[in-house]
Structure formats: structure tokens, C-alpha cells
Structure 1
């Protein structure tokens, strides 16, 4: 799985960080999500899928 994060669409809700903290973080200055890894660590795939599902801005896309 490959993760694509569109920071221009991000609304800084932080839902991705709560769902998949191994893959996402937020910038301190504005809360915009940042991608920590392009491929989720072993065992974190379901968390990343959940992050994509709960993102209110649909800023996370996954390629299997």
C-alpha cells in the first residue's frame, strides 16, 4: 500500500493522526497533516485505511 496526502486539501482536523499515528503527524504552526511514511509499517495498514475513511477533506488517497 502507498499513501498519498494532499496537504492543500487538508483542513487540520487531526483525525488521521488519531487513527494512524505511525503514518501521520501535524505541523505545529498550522495543524496541517504531514506524512511520516509513504508505506505504512507492518500491521498499520488497517489504521491507515481508517485514517483515509475519517478524513473530512478526503485528502488521503491509498494505492494498493
Structure 2
């Protein structure tokens, strides 16, 4: 599984980081999500999918 964040859409709510802290971190300057692991390990796929589903801006793509 691969995840990406559209930084033009991300508003830095931090839901992804709260949901999947081993997959996403937040940029210290603007709070935008940063993907830390790609591809996502199998044991983190459910967390990554939940983060994408929970993103209020739908800025995360899972493939």
C-alpha cells in the first residue's frame, strides 16, 4: 500500500497523525501531514486507511 498527501488540500488538522502516528508526522512549520513510510508496512495498513478515511479534507490518497 502507498499513501500520499495532497499538500494543496491538507489543512493541518492532524487527524492522520493522531490516527496513524507511525505513518504520518506533522510539519513543524505549517502542520501539514508528511508520509513517513512508503510503502506502508502490512501491519500499519489499517491505520493508514483509517487516517485517509478520517481526513476532513480528503487530502490523503491510498493506493
TM-score normalized by the length of structure 2: 0.92
Q: Which structure 1 residue ranges, 5 or more long, are not aligned?
A: none
Is 1:21 aligned to 2:16, yes or no? no
Instruction: State which drifts further: 12-21 or 34-43.
Output: 34-43
Indicate the structure with greater helix content: 2
Instruction: Give me the TM-score of the superposition, normalised by structure 1.
Output: 0.90
Q: Which range moves more in the overlay, 37-46 or 49-58?
A: 37-46
Q: After TM superposition, which residue ranges in structure 1, 4 or more long, deviate above 6 angstroms? A: none
Question: Over aligned residues, Cα RMSD in angstroms?
Answer: 0.9
Q: Cα distance, 1:41 vs. partner?
A: 2.2
Q: How many residues align?
A: 63
Where in structure 2 are there 5+ consecutive unaligned residues?
Answer: none
